């Protein structure tokens, strides 16, 4: 059938050229394979499970490992000691009882809808403007580097996070006004004393889990090729790598994961989340997080470490091999025009549409042409989004360009459309309007577009 179609196409082209050029409308065409965001590892299920499928070409053994990791990702950890010894050791302080609490269906979290809503997928990092000799942030003197808003029954929880929003009006060139919301964070019911006046707060939303192995498989040389830390080309856009501490090797390497690219690899990202978010110790992070006056050794733990290395590897493999859904409607003319507009206002200078992966330990993810729409680099995003808390080489204004793949399916999977590191943007339009710093010029161009043009860009983004 493929051959037949092509033959007909050729015939038609010949006929068209013979009959009056003026009347030929040349439609925009998608690139070959453009719908394959994750290359041949993409999945084509667009249900609420869309972020939860294994990359299709894993080996049999890899698929079993994926399944075991999936089970660990979803299961609730319980207070030690418990009869389910493989799952105990929660806390004593934690933000969620399981990975899927914040990454629901491997998707994206959002800010709480009411004060004290548990495990919605937003947490607060805490830090002073001081670092350890490894370059890691030193946390609040009492509450450490992360505020945990829940605890096991025998311990008072640290407190409750309060978020208040105030409106901020943005106006388009055509006069349309959009009301953004500016978040402010405070605490109530602090059990162990006030936070230090010097402590800075960095909110972070749980990100969707798709395609992490593909991002890990992008060669360093590719990332460096996009880096322009001193803006040598004078286009107003820098892009720099974050050199972060690798706990296993004890060296500083390029960071790739997290909102500030502050984790060097998926395993360390997973282990850090087990430690900070669930209170589960591992060989990488063997110490429990305890507020200053408490000694966590006073509470029962679930073994040393609480998650053994083999299971940490299983979850790491799972996180690395979740498939990226294919795009929908890549041939739609509005979508194609939206893509052209996206490129024309320089969005694609940081949200790089197409990259190649290199050699990789998961064979199925190696040497793929992927369309993540990111350069994985840090950029100054302006004062509006700044958290004022440096993270290794990232200053208080800098964030990593987040991949845009999957953005149009977040609503399907997670039932919301909140975006940005703290979920303040309630939809794609608001997220665009929050772009500042190096992205300010692009935002200003966006604001000068007509509503039809703006909608085409958003329509395009929703197909990613």
Site for another protein, rule CB under 8 A: 1-2, 4-6, 8-9, 11-13, 15-16, 19-20, 23-25, 27, 29-30, 44-49, 53-54, 60, 63-64, 66-68, 70-71, 74-76, 82-84, 86, 96-98, 100-101, 104-105, 118-119, 331, 412
Write the DSSP symbol of residue 206: P
Decide if 170 contacts 447 (C-beta within 8 A).
yes
Decide if 329 contacts 28 (C-beta within 8 A).
no
Q: How far is the CB of 326 from another protein (least distance, A)?
A: 11
Cβ neighbours of residue 49 under 8 Å, at least 6 residues apart?
105, 413
Rounded Cα gap, residues 136 and 239, in angstroms:
21
Rounded Cα gap, residues 130 and 137, in angstroms:
6
The DSSP string of 31-43 is: PTTTT-TTGGG-B
Closer to another protein by Cβ: residue 49 or 228: 49
Q: How far is the CB of 2 from another protein (least distance, A)?
A: 5
Token readout for 222 is 């590719």
Decide if 172 contacts 447 (C-beta within 8 A).
yes
Closer to another protein by Cβ: residue 120 or 368: 120
Closer to another protein by Cβ: residue 55 or 241: 55
Round the CA-based radius of gyration of the chain to a whole number and report it: 23
Rounded Cα gap, residues 315 and 272, in angstroms:
12
Closer to another protein by Cβ: residue 18 or 230: 18
Closer to another protein by Cβ: residue 65 or 265: 65
Q: How far is the CB of 107 from another protein (least distance, A)?
A: 11
Closer to another protein by Cβ: residue 53 or 285: 53
Closer to another protein by Cβ: residue 22 or 295: 22
Q: How far is the CB of 153 from another protein (least distance, A)?
A: 9
Q: How far is the CB of 11 from another protein (least distance, A)?
A: 7
- The count of other CB atoms within 10 Å of the CB of residue 263 is 23
Q: How far is the CB of 130 from another protein (least distance, A)?
A: 35
Decide if 92 contacts 288 (C-beta within 8 A).
yes
Decide if 211 contacts 374 (C-beta within 8 A).
no
Rounded Cα gap, residues 89 and 356, in angstroms:
40
Whose tokens are 């079993």? That residue is 64
Closer to another protein by Cβ: residue 332 or 453: 332
Rounded Cα gap, residues 182 and 165, in angstroms:
5
Q: How far is the CB of 48 from another protein (least distance, A)?
A: 4
Q: How far is the CB of 314 from another protein (least distance, A)?
A: 9
Q: How far is the CB of 374 from another protein (least distance, A)?
A: 25
Closer to another protein by Cβ: residue 58 or 223: 58
Decide if 389 contacts 140 (C-beta within 8 A).
no
Of 182, 225, 138, which Cα lies nearest the Cα of 382?
A: 182
Q: How far is the CB of 386 from another protein (least distance, A)?
A: 30
Closer to another protein by Cβ: residue 309 or 331: 331
Q: Give the DSSP H/E element, type plus range, for residue 204.
A: strand 200-205
Decide if 195 contacts 186 (C-beta within 8 A).
no
Q: How far is the CB of 6 from another protein (least distance, A)?
A: 6
Decide if 243 contacts 393 (C-beta within 8 A).
yes
Rounded Cα gap, residues 319 and 106, in angstroms:
9
Closer to another protein by Cβ: residue 105 or 204: 105
């Amino acid at each position: 059938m493929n051959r037949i179609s092509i033959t007909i196409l050729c015939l038609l082209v010949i006929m068209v050229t013979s009959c009056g050029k003026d009347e030929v409308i040349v439609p925009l065409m998608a690139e070959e394979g453009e719908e394959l965001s994750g290359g041949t590892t993409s999945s084509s299920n667009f249900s609420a499970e869309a972020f939860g499928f294994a990359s299709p070409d894993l080996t049999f053994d890899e698929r079993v490992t994926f399944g075991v990791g999936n089970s660990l990702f979803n299961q609730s950890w319980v207070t030690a000691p418990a009869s389910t010894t493989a799952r105990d050791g929660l806390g004593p302080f934690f933000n969620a009882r399981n990975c899927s609490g914040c990454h629901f269906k491997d998707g994206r979290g959002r800010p709480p809808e009411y004060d004290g809503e548990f495990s919605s997928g937003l947490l607060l990092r805490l830090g002073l403007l001081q670092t350890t000799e490894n370059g890691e942030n030193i946390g609040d003197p009492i509450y450490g580097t992360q505020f945990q808003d829940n605890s096991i029954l025998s311990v008072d929880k640290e407190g409750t996070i309060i978020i208040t929003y105030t409106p901020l009006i943005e106006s388009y060139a055509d006069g349309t006004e959009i009301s953004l919301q500016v978040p402010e964070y405070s605490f109530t019911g602090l059990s162990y004393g006030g936070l230090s006046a010097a402590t800075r707060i960095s909110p972070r939303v749980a990100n969707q889990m798709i395609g992490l192995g593909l991002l890990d498989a992008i060669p360093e040389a590719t990332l460096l090729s996009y880096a322009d830390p001193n803006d040598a080309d004078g286009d107003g856009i820098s892009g720099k790598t974050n050199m972060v501490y690798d706990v296993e090797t004890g060296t500083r390497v390029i960071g790739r994961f997290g909102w500030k690219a502050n984790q060097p690899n998926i395993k360390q990202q997973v282990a850090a989340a087990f430690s900070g978010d669930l209170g589960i110790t591992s060989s990488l992070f063997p110490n429990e997080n305890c507020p200053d006056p408490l000694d966590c050794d006073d509470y029962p733990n679930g073994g040393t470490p609480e998650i053994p290395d083999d299971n940490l590897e299983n979850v790491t493999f799972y996180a690395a091999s979740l498939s990226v859904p294919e795009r929908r409607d890549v041939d739609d003319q509005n979508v194609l025009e939206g893509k052209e507009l996206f490129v024309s206002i320089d969005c694609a200078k940081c949200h790089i549409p197409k990259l190649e992966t290199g050699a990789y330990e998961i064979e199925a993810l190696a040497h793929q042409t992927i369309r993540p729409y990111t350069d994985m680099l840090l950029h100054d995003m302006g004062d509006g989004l700044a958290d004022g808390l440096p993270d290794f080489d990232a200053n208080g204004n800098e964030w990593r360009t987040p991949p845009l793949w999957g953005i149009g399916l977040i609503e399907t999977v997670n039932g919301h459309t909140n975006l940005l590191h703290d979920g303040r943007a309630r939809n794609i339009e608001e997220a665009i309007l929050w772009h500042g710093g190096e992205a300010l010029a692009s935002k200003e161009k966006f604001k000068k577009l007509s509503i039809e043009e703006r909608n085409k860009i958003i329509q395009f983004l929703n197909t990613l």
